Copies of this chain bind each other. A is one copy, B any other.
Amino acid sequence: LLCDGYARAENPYQAHLLKVLRDRGSLSRAAMSETIGLSRTKVSVELDRLAQLRLINSGGLAPSLGGRRPAIVGTDPDVRFVGVDIGATSVDVAVTDGELRLLGRLSDSINVRQEPDMLSQELGCPVMVDNDVNIMALGEMHAGTARSVEDFLFIKLGTSIGCGIVLQGQLHRGPSGSAGDIGHLQVENLGPACACGNVGCLEAFFSGAALERDALQAARSGQSPALADRLESTGFLTAVDVGVAASSGDPVAVALVRDGARRLGQVIAALVSFINPALVVIGGGVANLGHSLLAEVRSVVYQRSLPLATGNLPIVLSGLPTQGGVIGGARLISDAVLCAPRSAAP
């Protein structure tokens, strides 16, 4: 559909039906009627029109439960969404089907500062742009641990630090679109200078860039033999090297992970008290530091937040470390395309 034009829902009923099929997979007409609270007659009229538009396929059969196999409806196998996740240093592109299952993907390195508007050129199909943290949060909502909750925070630890905020199943962006900008929350009165001009920012202590700076310093000063060896063999150090050195017991690397995780935990504790989420998911490249990161964060949050907010609060690492962004990008554009034009409201 991408190549020879695209179809979209003509009214809110069709939009709702398509979203149900995207999120729940194939269903019988009876189940769809029940889910969206419309009569079976009305549902059938809209489904027949969607089949004409080649947005759904109504010829499927569910597995037999003993008798006749019930007819089911699903998204058309030719429906495609494309999700693109542009990081500071790389771009991921993925193609999905109508249920946002990955069909194929490509990754390449780019310098985002040199070609920021590369993808905004005419593509001949609808395009949406959002920041990386928000699309990763949408990916968690669609296909990750957050699928089962309405309110959650997605913390991205990467080159920078940010938070995706999902409340009542909706991404909260704020009036100027800057919601979730937690990288510059102050965690110490003093500390390394931050790119924003302040000192004491979380990001100046614990982003990928901050870890690389501290790891280089520890390697060059001889404080960390493990990091010095790694630097000598590869010529550079990343957050992954800090994680490997910490796992091997290097005391400086262990302290870098623990101190950073403690500061991150302080921030998450405040966010949890403030917004009372049902789940916190931590993702992004620096989340690869692994379970000592998670243990320290949990310890601080469970100690600093009130029991009412943490009683049932899981804090987990993302189960979609490399796919969350592109699935979320596909979710974003599918929401926009499946949304009926306002003028067609009943």
Which residues of A approach B to under 8 Å, CB–CB? 37, 149-151, 163, 165, 167-168, 170, 172-182, 184-186, 196, 198, 266-267, 269-271, 273-278, 303-306, 308-309, 311-312, 345
Contacts and interface: CB of A to CB of B under 8 A. Distances in A.
Given A172-B167, A178-B309, A311-B176, A274 B345 contact: no
A313 to B, nearest CB: 9
20 contacts: A163-B274, A165-B274, A168-B170, A172-B275, A173-B276, A174-B277, A175-B276, A175-B278, A176-B309, A176-B311, A178-B306, A178-B309, A181-B273, A181-B276, A184-B304, A185-B273, A186-B269, A186-B304, A274-B275, A275-B275
Nearest to A270: B185
B176 A274 contact: no
Given A151-B174, A179-B274, 15 more contacts: A149-B175, A150-B175, A165-B275, A172-B275, A174-B277, A175-B276, A176-B312, A177-B276, A178-B276, A178-B309, A180-B276, A181-B273, A184-B305, A186-B269, A275-B275
A169 to B, nearest CB: 12
A167 B276 CA distance: 14
A176 B278 CA distance: 8
Contacts of A184: 273, 304-306
Contacts of A172: 167, 275
Contact of A175 (B151, B177, B198, B274): B151
Given A37-B345, A304-B186, A274 B167 contact: no
Nearest to A37: B345
A168 B176 CA distance: 13
A42 to B, nearest CB: 12
Contacts of A278: 175
A71 to B, nearest CB: 28
A48 B320 CA distance: 56
A185 B274 contact: yes
A207 B203 CA distance: 30
A306 B163 CA distance: 15
A5 B128 CA distance: 52
- Point out which of A37, A168, A175, A277 has the most chain B C-beta atoms below 10 A from its C-beta: A175
A131 to B, nearest CB: 12
Given A185-B270, A186-B304, A304-B186, A309 B277 contact: no
A33 to B, nearest CB: 15
A198 B304 contact: yes
A303 to B, nearest CB: 8
Q: When A and B form their complex, which 7 residue pairs have the shortest distance between CB atoms, in order from nearest?
A: A174-B276, A179-B276, A178-B308, A175-B278, A178-B276, A178-B309, A185-B270
A168 B172 CA distance: 9
A38 to B, nearest CB: 11
Nearest to A170: B168
A156 to B, nearest CB: 14
B271 A274 contact: yes
Contacts of A273: 178, 181-182, 184-185
Contact of A174 (B176, B177, B179, B275): B275
Contacts of A270: 185-186, 267, 270
A278 B179 CA distance: 11
